[in-house]
Amino acid sequence: MNPRVLILGGTGEGRRLAEQLDELGVPVVSSLAGRVREPRLPKGEVRIGGFGGPEGLAEYLRDERIGTIVDATHPFARRMTDNAVAAAATTGTDLLVLRRRAWSPESGDDWHQVESLAEAAEKVGELGQRVLLTTGRQGVEHFATARDNWFLVRSVDEPEHPLPPNMTTLLARGPFDTAAELDLLRRHRIEVVVSKNSGGTMTEGKLTAARQLGLPVVLVRQPELPKVPVVHTVEDALAWLRKHRSHAG
């Protein structure tokens, strides 16, 4: 697995992969975007901040002698993924995408799947007035003109302006279990939940809670994956890296 592995991180999967590689003695550096005020730092070397587009990332790959990129960013960080694909192609660097699987509907779910936050903002008014909005601090502006709705906006950091006129901010970091989500939805008399389909278990409790309460959920679909090697678990990423190392040797 040498030379170094660059993990484009910011997710639990990225942190766990960095920990595993560090324990194996593989030189690894994790890159975080720096959008969260107090990010959870992975083991090993960490850099925080952008690269300056695909050109800047390509320069970094050359300067730091990166042998493999693992894109373990959030499923909706499509710009970073596109930059990684372009930089890898430019420099001939191997690229693996580690992306958790999207959630799938279960019996009893009332899901309304859309392609964008703008479409979600149009849809939410048809389904209820009191909304739990869990799409992160960015993108809340798409709901800023929804004057007939009240929003409980939950995010790790303060959401970016412009904001809906009728809202309350709840700063919190997952995981959120089903019992806590049920209490939250009942206490705030939530009528509709809005989320990105991020997958994983840390925030899945709101979907289970919505199902149990019979609430509609507006869910933004994940962007399409690039045409590069893709795995869905840390274990599969490690297996891919081991195989790649043996072939390279």
Q: Are residues 22 and 79 in the same domain?
A: yes
Q: Are residues 205 and 238 in the same domain?
A: no
Distance of CA 195 to the CA centre of its chain: 11
Return the closest-CA partner of residue 142 out of 122, 166, 171, 115: 122
Q: Are residues 85 and 23 in the same domain?
A: yes
Q: Are residues 89 and 122 in the same domain?
A: no
- pLDDT digit string (tens) for 109-134? 999 999 999 999 999 989 999 999 99
Q: Are residues 97 and 151 in the same domain?
A: no
Q: Are residues 230 and 193 in the same domain?
A: no
pLDDT tier at 249, thresholds 50, 70, 90: very low
pTM over 0.85: yes
Q: List strand residue ranges (DSSP E) for 105-220, in order.
A: 110-114, 130-134, 150-155, 167-171, 192-196, 216-220
pLDDT at 58 over 90: yes
Q: Are residues 141 and 39 in the same domain?
A: no
Question: Which residue in the block uniquely carries the two structure tokens 């800023």?
Answer: 144
Question: Looking at residue 30, which CATH number applies to its domain?
Answer: 3.40.50.720
Task: Provide the 10 A C-beta neighbour count for residue 59.
Answer: 15
Three-state DSSP class for residue 233? coil
**Contact 192/124 with Cβ under 8 angstroms?**
yes
**How far is residue 15's CA from residue 23's CA, in Å, rounded to a whole number?**
12
**How far is residue 73's CA from residue 181's CA, in Å, rounded to a whole number?**
25
**How far is residue 54's CA from residue 90's CA, in Å, rounded to a whole number?**
9
**N- to C-terminal Cα separation, the chain:** 9
The sign one gets for the Cα dihedral 155, 158, 160, 166 is: positive
Q: Are residues 210 and 239 in the same domain?
A: no
- pLDDT digit string (tens) for 137-183? 888 999 999 999 999 999 988 998 999 999 999 999 889 999 999 99
Residue 204: give the domain boundaries: 110-220
Tell me the pLDDT of the chain averaged across its residues. 92
pLDDT at 85 over 60: yes
Q: Are residues 54 and 124 in the same domain?
A: no
Q: Are residues 41 and 56 in the same domain?
A: yes
What number of residues does the chain have?
249
- The CA-based angle 130-131-135, given to 5 degrees, is 170
User: Looking at residue 138, what is its pLDDT?
Assistant: 86
- pLDDT digit string (tens) for 9-54? 989 999 999 999 999 999 999 999 866 566 678 888 999 988 999 9
**How far is residue 182's CA from residue 92's CA, in Å, rounded to a whole number?**
49
Q: Are residues 178 and 198 in the same domain?
A: yes
Average pLDDT for residues 48-69, to the nearest whole number? 95
Q: Are residues 117 and 216 in the same domain?
A: yes
Question: How many domains does the structure of the chain reveal?
Answer: 2
